[in-house]
């Protein structure tokens, strides 16, 4: 049986615990294991605003809030049973219902979600997720989407007839979703980029969970 300490050692050996202040934060979150942290903003670096005002650690994120990270910014935060790592140059807005839960207007965000349905909107698609970890890089013309694990229903904006529903266990089906109706297909296979299993584990630990790949043998992203 793989222990939490064994898992930490493997992540560190693979160079997946990050650097600087982020490494310390990730190590503390991983060590917390099944002890969830309070909701709110937990780690801020660089320029981070909420609703146009500089954000503060400990602030709650509520329906209607918009979080913007500048080019040098990063934010880690918790909303209920969901946790997020928002990278620089990103704008995310949160709605009042599961059907309008999250809009990624631009930029990059890694998210883990608890039980229940949530809908994510990007410029190129609507994405329905269930018990999921996912990574998004959103642009006007295309979106990178990796369903790290869980279930998803994707409806491309440019070609709703290409709607796809699938499940993954470990980054099995990353793709680009394009906003060009002239393309033969809107969804094009991709590779795993710009997110790691260490980051997913850290986010899950913040909300008192372990990702489904925890304890398995084999490599890490």
Residue 145 CB coordination number (10 Å): 25
Asked if residues 214 and 7 have their Cβ atoms less than 8 Å apart, the reply is: yes
Report the pLDDT value the prediction gives residue 6, as an integer from 0 to 100: 56
Report the pLDDT value the prediction gives residue 213, as an integer from 0 to 100: 87
Report the pLDDT value the prediction gives residue 126, as an integer from 0 to 100: 98
3-state SS record for 56-111: CCCCCCCCCCEEEECCCCEEEEEECCEEEEECCCEEEEECCCHHHCEEEEEEEEEE
Asked if residues 151 and 131 have their Cβ atoms less than 8 Å apart, the reply is: yes
| Interatomic CA distance for residues 160 and 157, integer angstroms | 6
Report the pLDDT value the prediction gives residue 17, as an integer from 0 to 100: 47
pTM score: 0.88
Mean pLDDT by 10 residues, the chain (221 residues): 52 48 57 75 96 97 97 97 97 95 98 96 97 96 97 97 97 97 96 95 92 69 70
Report how far Cα 66 is from the mean position of its chain's Cα atoms. Answer: 16
């Amino acid at each position: 049986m793989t222990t939490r300490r064994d898992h930490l050692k493997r992540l560190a050996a693979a160079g997946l615990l990050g650097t600087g202040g982020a490494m310390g934060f990730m190590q503390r979150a991983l060590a917390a294991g099944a002890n969830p942290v309070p909701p709110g903003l937990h780690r801020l670096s660089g320029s981070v605003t909420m609703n146009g005002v500089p954000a503060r650690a400990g602030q709650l994120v509520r329906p209607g809030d918009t979080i913007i990270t500048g080019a040098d910014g990063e934010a880690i935060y918790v909303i209920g049973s969901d946790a997020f790592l928002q990278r620089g140059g990103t704008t995310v807005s949160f709605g009042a219902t599961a059907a309008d839960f999250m809009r990624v207007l631009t930029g990059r965000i890694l998210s883990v979600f608890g039980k229940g349905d949530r809908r994510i909107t990007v410029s190129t698609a609507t994405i329905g997720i269930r018990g999921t970890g996912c990574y998004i890089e959103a642009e006007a013309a295309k979106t990178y989407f990796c369903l790290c694990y869980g279930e998803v229903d994707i409806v491309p904006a440019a070609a709703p007839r290409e709607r796809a529903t699938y499940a993954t266990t470990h980054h099995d089906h990353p793709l680009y979703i394009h906003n060009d109706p002239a393309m033969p297909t809107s969804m094009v296979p991709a590779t795993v980029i710009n997110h790691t299993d260490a980051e997913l584990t850290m986010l899950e630990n913040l909300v008192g969970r372990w990702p489904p790949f925890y304890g398995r043998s084999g490599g890490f992203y």
